[in-house]
Structure 1
Amino acid sequence: MISHRDRNAQRISALDERAEALHLKRDMGIADARAMHPSIDVVEADPEADRRLLEGLADWCDRYTPLVALDGADGLFLDVTGCTHLFGGERAMLDDILSRFFHQGFDVRAGLAATPGAAWAAARFCGDRIVVSGEEEALLAPLPLAALRIEPSTRTSLESVGLRTAGAVMAAPRAPLARRFGALLLLRLDQALGRLDEAVSPRLPVAPLSVERHLAEPVTLTEDIERLVGMLAATLKTDLERRGEGARTLALLLFRVDGAVSRIALGTSRPMREPMLIQKLFHERLAALEQDIDAGYGFDLVRLSVLASATFDMQQADLAGEVTDDGADIALFADRIRARLGDGAVLRPVAVESHLPERAVATIPFTDAPCRTTPPKKPDRLQAPKTIFPPERPIRLFRSPEPIDV
């Protein structure tokens, strides 16, 4: 059992099936529970640890859809629209989720429906059920008021007037319900029934481009991961060419068989889509993180995503088919150093507007993006010969100032 402090008393906040079989229940005082069963095992609640665990499970659920949202302290919403066929259909996908969670040591309940509200009710009150579109009302009708996701105070008020099920609320006139119990009651009801749309807000930005590879045999070696990166980057290149873009920020997600997820991101100085170059950057990044990446029993899913992209400038090749770009080698070198040592390892100077010479320059992480420069010269200076006006900054500064007599 897990306990929490409520009004200077320790109470049960969660318990397993064996504790329920002993006629213990939530919100019961720990003193009363120990009086009934002195040998019970009680653990103090740790909300922060529970939150981290839930976020870790949400990361793992990214293997099914990028649209994953947290639902309170003990639930997840997955928008699997357009994804179920990749796993053999709705039932096969639901069974796969439940089976994988079970083998990780979690006893979970799931529901699948056309609306988040109906799926939430099915998971918490009907077990592992798939609700066919149009059957939301039949699902909700016999369920208790808690299935509508309303506040406990609202549920108590509804029960005081004889409305004890969702079906009773649906049968009651809407206008009196709104006046007495608030608009949220009808909002939740309409969302569950599909009369109003309810969007699932993903906890992480959705990548515009993403490719992945499911593996029958999990991989553990860095060399195997790098080969997979090259294969996935080749697939991404086709999509990037179609869009006329190159990747500026890439993310590599490694899904471990036991549920852990490793997320590796890197940036590029220029838009990039050549698979060999992308593979080189991740080679450096993986080499830097080799001690921090625990493959465990292996990764069974590898995903490469483009988080940010930019227009890819095409360059004219000469008669020999070669492209001359003096800055390409420098940019790639800087990217490889940054991938291994971090963005702060390669810096570039930029001019800063300041009347103090020692503050007129700063350093930023290396990038080919346009940098802030000093204000342009006055129009009359642009037309004049360069020898007429001196430079805006001294070409040399003495460590100790010296007077100048003219």
Structure 2
Amino acid sequence: MVVDKARNALVIAAADDAALQAGVCVGMTLATARAIHPALLAVEADAAADAALLEVLADWAERYTPFVGLDGPDGLALDVTGSAHLFGGEAAMLDDLVARLRRGGVEARGAIAGTLSTARALARFGGAGARVVPAGGEARAVARLPLEAVAPPETVTALARLGLKRIEDLAERPRGPLAARFGASLLDRLDRVRGLAGEPVSPRRPLPACTAERRFAEPIGHEEDVRRSILAMAGELAGVLERRGEGARRLELTFFRADGAVRRIAVATGRPVRDPAAMARLYREKLDALADPVDPGFGFDVMRLAALATERQDAAQTGLDRQAEESEALAELADRLAARFGPRRVQRLVAQDTHIPERAAFAAPAQRVGGAGAAKTGDAAAEWAFHRVPEEPPPRPLRLLDPPERIEALAEIPDGPPIRFRWRRALHLVRKAEGPERIAPEWWRASPDALTRDYFRVEDEAGRRFWLFREGLWGYETASPSWFLHGLFA
């Protein structure tokens, strides 16, 4: 038995068949139950553990349909529309579900009906066994059920004083007096239980845009079998996406083990994808890089590949466009690296509209996603379109020091290029210098003490090339400008 505290006493919250046969009933105090049968064993209720178990069972139940919701503290609601035929019909599906739960040590009762309220009432108050209600037979199926299926205890007590004990008794009474006495909510619940009004099922997880799955007569566990199944499901999913004119942006692969364990593996893409080989490669990279490998146990009896998020993807001919092919290959490489190492570890630099070198770019995920601060979906090469003369050296280095390092420099004239400088205790004699490239502070966001910079490209006697700048205009902004080393040319 399971006992819980209520009204300053320990009350029976749940009892097994042996306790019920001994005369114990739910709601009885523990003292009364022990008086009836002193050898009864009782444990305290653990709501958190019960909720965790129900979540595990909900994950397991997704092998029947992805549309699974929680129904109270001890129930599950499944929308099996369109999936019952995979199990040989609704009756066979319900029998298989209840039998599997019982083999796992979970006593369960179930029902399938046209509305959720009807199925709930039959499962909770219809007695042992599984029932399937034919279409239009909801009212007849629930007619003999007690009023606890539609009303709270205090209302049931008041209705019992009027001689109303079953749903059929309540359904035969005039609705006006009932609504005036007990409220319209009672009639609403009555209509839903009798199948006259619908009630939606709230899924506990977002429903995928489309899915493909494989059910195996014998559980599989070999790596090659798993990979072939992934490729086959990806091909089926690609066909659905192509008919819809969409591509997947987020995929989820679910493994249902024969012992009831469930494992989900998700991957994201930087652009819409519907190529089966590309999807399979993403999951090959992801599965190979998992710190906690997928354990097949006694094998997988169901596998499901779902597209959780999709975007429009128009057909394009890339055979004559080399640049488009290279962009597509780069995007696929970014997806594969992100699948292996994680999306935050694969980044790209995004150009910004500013002349300040350290603000000219910021690192964003290489997978191009929307939203504020994310990488744009346009051509990356166009973002970095600098005006550069062919065969001329780059005007700025690719490697910048963050932050710029202060150096000691000496110039022939205050506003001229340096003739020598000392950086990290090493003295460099300047053989050639080019500049200055003047960059003024951005007035719309610069701090009051921001100074103008004069940048120089210099080369020392050993052929090493540096990017220096003098901070502050001599005689205008400061009397003693400071020198900094900002970058190194390769």
The match for 1:335 is 335
Greater shift after overlay, 264-273 or 110-119?
110-119
Instruction: State the one-letter code of the partner of 2:260.
Output: G
Is the 8 Å Cα contact of residues 248 and 268 (structure 1) preserved in structure 2?
yes
Q: Describe how 1:219-238 pairs up with structure 2 within 5 A.
A: 219-238=220-239
Task: State the partner residue of 2:157.
Answer: 156
Match of 1:369, SS state, is: coil
2:141 matched to which residue of 1? Answer: 139
Deviations 1:88-145 (A, max 9, x none): 1222222221222222222211111122222122222223122222322222222210
Instruction: Tell me the distance in 2 between the aligned counterparts of 1:334 and 1:392.
Output: 36
Q: Retained in 2: the 8 A contact 1:250–1:306? A: yes
CA contact (8 A) 1:222 1:286 kept: no
1:74 counterpart = 2:81: no
Return closer, same or farther for 1:333/1:64 CA change in 2, 3 Å cut-off.
same
The equivalent of 2:270 in structure 1 is: 269
- CA–CA distance in structure 2, aligned partners of residues 58 and 179 of structure 1: 40
CA-CA distance at 1:246 after TM superposition: 1.4
> Which protein shows a greater Rg?
2
Q: Name the residue aligned to 1:9.
A: 9
> Where does the alignment leave 5 or more consecutive residues of structure 1 unmatched?
375-385
Indicate if the aligned counterparts of 2:439 and 2:454 stay in contact, CA closer than 8 A: no
Structure-1 residue corresponding to 2:256: 255
Matched, 1:301 2:370: no
Whole-angstrom distance in 2 between the partners of 1:3 and 1:152:
20
Structure 2 unaligned spans of 5+: 375-386, 388-437, 443-452, 457-466, 477-490
- CA, structure 1 residues 185+253, in 2 after alignment: closer, same or farther (shift >3 Å)? same
Alignment of 1:91-106 (within 5 A): 91-106=91-106
Cα gap change, 1:211/1:371 in structure 2, threshold over 3 Å: closer, same or farther? closer
Q: Which residue of 2 aligns with 1:348?
A: 348
Between the aligned partners of 1:317 and 1:353, the Cα distance in structure 2 is: 31
What is the TM-score normalised by the length of structure 2?
0.72
Measure the CA separation in 2 of the matches of 1:310 and 1:135. 42
Q: CA deviation at 1:348?
A: 3.4
Q: Once the 2 structures are TM-superposed, how far is the Cα of residue 249 of structure 1 from its aligned partner?
A: 0.4
Q: What is the deviation of 1:292?
A: 4.7
**Structure 1 residues 44 and 364: CA distance shift in structure 2, 3 A:** farther
Letter in 2 for 1:173: P
* Separation (CA, whole Å) in 1 of partners of 2:316 and 2:334: 21
Sort the Cα spacing of 1:131 and 1:345 in 2 relative to 1 into closer, same or farther, 3 A. same
Contact 2:220/2:300 (CA < 8 Å) preserved in 1?
yes
Q: Which structure has the highest strand share of the two? A: 2
Matched, 1:33 2:33: yes
Change (3 A) 1:371 1:94: closer
Q: Residues 351 and 372 of structure 1: is their aligned pair in 2 closer, same or farther, counting only changes over 3 Å?
A: farther
TM-score normalized with structure 1 length:
0.86
Between the aligned partners of 1:108 and 1:335, the Cα distance in structure 2 is 44
Any idea what the Cα deviations from partners look like across 1:216-272, whole Å, max 9, x if unmatched?
121223332222111111111222222222111001011111222111111001111
Amino acid in the other structure paired with 1:177:
L
Residue of structure 1 in register with 2:472 after alignment: 403
Say if 1:351 and 1:373, in contact at 8 Å, map to a contact too.
no
Q: Using the TM superposition, give the Cα deviation of residue 208 of structure 1 relative to its aligned residue in structure 2, in angstroms.
A: 1.8
Q: Given that residues 140 and 147 in structure 1 are in contact (C-alpha distance below 8 angstroms), is that contact kept between their aligned partners in structure 2?
A: no
Structure 2 Cα separation of the partners of residues 359 and 13 of structure 1? 64
1:326 corresponds in structure 2 to 326
Q: Distance in 1 between matches of 2:52 and 2:264?
A: 15
From the superposition, tell whether residues 134 and 245 of structure 1 become closer, same or farther in structure 2 (CA, over 3 Å): closer
Q: Which amino acid aligns with 1:130?
A: V
Write out per-residue CA displacement over residues 125-170 of structure 1, whole angstroms, 9 at most, x where no aligned residue. Answer: 223122222322222222210122x222222222233222111111
Q: In the superposition, relative to structure 1, how do residues 202 and 372 fare at CA in structure 2: closer, same or farther (>3 Å)? A: closer
How far off is 1:15 after superposition?
Answer: 1.3
The AA in structure 2 aligned to 1:403 is G
Are the structure 2 counterparts of residues 105 and 293 from structure 1 closer, same or farther at C-alpha, using a change threshold of 3 Å?
A: same
State the 1:357 CA deviation: 8.8
Superposed displacement of residue 173, structure 1 = 0.9
CA contact (8 A) 1:350 1:364 kept: yes
SS in 2 for 1:325: helix
Distance 2:92 2:454 in 1: 72
Identify if the C-alpha distance between structure 1 residues 292 and 16 changes in structure 2 by more than 3 Å, giving closer, same or farther: farther
Name which of structure 1's ranges 35-44 and 252-261 shifts more when overlaid on structure 2: 35-44
Task: Output aligned runs, 1:187-266, within 5 Å.
Answer: 187-266=188-267
Higher helix share: 1
Secondary structure of 2:73's counterpart equals coil
2:89 equivalent in structure 1: 89
Aligned partner of residue 472 in structure 2, secondary structure: coil
The higher-RCO structure (CA 8 Å, 6+ apart) is: 1
TM-superposed deviation, 1:345: 1.3
CA RMSD of aligned residues (A): 3.2
Could you tell me which amino acid in structure 2 is paired with residue 302 of structure 1?
M
Indicate the larger mover: 167-176 or 18-27. Answer: 18-27
Q: Give the superposition deviation at 1:334.
A: 2.1
Name the CA shift for 1:349/1:157 in 2 (closer, same or farther; >3 Å). farther
* CA pair 122-396 structure 1, distance change in 2 beyond 3 A: farther
Secondary structure class of the residue paired with 1:5: strand
Q: Distance in 2 between matches of 1:191 and 1:298?
A: 41
Runs of 4+ in 1 over 4 A off after TM superposition: 321-324, 349-354, 356-362, 370-374, 389-401
| Equivalent-residue separation in structure 2 for 1:174 and 1:396 (angstroms) | 88
- Partners of 2:110 and 2:206 lie apart in 1 by 24
What is the letter of the counterpart of residue 280 of structure 1?
A: R
Whole-angstrom distance in 2 between the partners of 1:396 and 1:27: 84
Bigger drift between 195-204 and 265-274 goes to: 195-204
Q: Quote how far apart the aligned CAs of 1:39 are.
A: 3.4
Q: Percent identity?
A: 44
